Amino acid sequence: MTAQEATQMSTKDMSSTASPSQARALTAIDLFSGCGGLSHGLKRAGFHVVAAVEIDGKAQATYELNHPAVRLYPKDIRKLDPMQVLSDTGLQPGDLDLLAGCPPCQGFSRLRTRNQQTFVKDDRNNLVADFVRFVKVMKPKTIMLENVPALAKDGRFTRMRNQLGAFGYGMVTHILDAADYGVPQRRKRLIMLASRVHRPEMAAKAGSRITVRQALKHVGAPSTTKDKLHAMPERRSQAIRELIALIPKNGGSRTDLGADRQLACHKRSNGFRDVYGRMAWDDVSPTITSGCHNPSKGRFLHPSYNRTITLREAALLQGFPRDYKFDISHGKEAIGLMIGNALPPPFIAAHARALRKGLLEAHTMTPAESSMTTAR
């Protein structure tokens, strides 16, 4: 699969191969939607996203630019009644096919858990309980939860799994690399699939990985583009520009320059060796974070040009399509945060297709057959 194919696959492609009985619309709700990566992945997998919830104003605006037909609740999920969402979307408890979300994970981040604590005190982590609250009321047929790997060791995740089991859900949880599922980026994530109508299974890995070269091969120079996101300018001192120009192309690092050419702050630290490093053309990119436009935040220099990747290039490496809209008036920091925090659409689409397959198969089963499948 090429990068363009991985990015442009649509629900039309899927429905063209589905039988009439499989063509029915499957509903989904996206909690903690951010700028819409999860919703985009669900749509690519053939789901009809009927509602989404997001608290951040700039993320809300970006979501609405790209998903105008979805009913967006621009508010704190802790103040939202799930029965109201069901009523607004014409659903009853048990009707919803998929409830999906990624509770904000900053409190579970790797840097926050370096001391091996398995219970991090951060109010955002308690949003996992709100995810369960929505499950309890909505009774969706299937569930998808995505998060950072550290969540697996937190007691709240164990409690959530126990609650879902008590509600009748079978579950499968793995820590996977998004690069194995059509994302041109190395990104380890925890994903949990749950179902009360069939036995859930993770999607099979893609046959090959998409490289930086494949993902960016159709992107022109920022100076010649009409894409305002791609053309957002850099502001670097002359000294930093000269340092970047010295770093070897195609995977080089500041450590290749020798000790006398290191920045003073780098000489004081033995860690963070990827900062001021270049990506390699024929490998996947490193994890795209909110600092993806800043060379001091990671290996975010372009493989060949003496600049960081642009925000459009960062979005492509996250698996967004080329025409995904961002309002540049929000500024680089806000857009970088949205892109870095987004769920890679191809990764979501792969696992949503696995759930969709199970849902459609369960739809054709008798109640007795369905109960036997979920009990296995």
Active site residues: 105
Nearest to 285 by CA among 256, 309, 320: 309
Backbone dihedral angles phi then psi of residue 4, each to the nearest 5 degrees = -65, -40
Tokens representing 59 are 């993320």
Nearest to 355 by CA among 207, 204, 146, 203: 203
Q: Give CA–CA dist 92/32, Å, rounded.
A: 21
3-state helix, strand, coil in the chain (%, to 5): 45, 10, 45
Helices then strands (H, E): number in the chain? 14, 7
- Sorted by sequence, the CB contacts under 8 Å of residue 57 that are 6+ apart come out as 74
87 contacts 59 by C-beta, under 8 angstroms? no
Task: Please state at what angle helix 57-66 crosses helix 332-341, rounded to 10 degrees.
Answer: 70
289 contacts 297 by C-beta, under 8 angstroms? yes
For residue 342, give the DSSP letter: S
Task: Please state at what angle helix 155-166 crosses helix 127-138, rounded to 10 degrees.
Answer: 10
Handedness of CA 54, 59, 61, 65 (dihedral sign): negative
Collect contacts of 74-81 with beta carbons under 8 A, ≥24 apart.
77/31, 77/32, 77/53, 77/127, 77/130, 77/134, 78/127, 78/130, 80/53
- The single-letter code of the amino acid at 91 is L
Nearest to 257 by CA among 301, 291, 216: 301
Q: Rounded to 10 degrees, what is the CA torsion of 347, 351, 356, 362?
A: 180
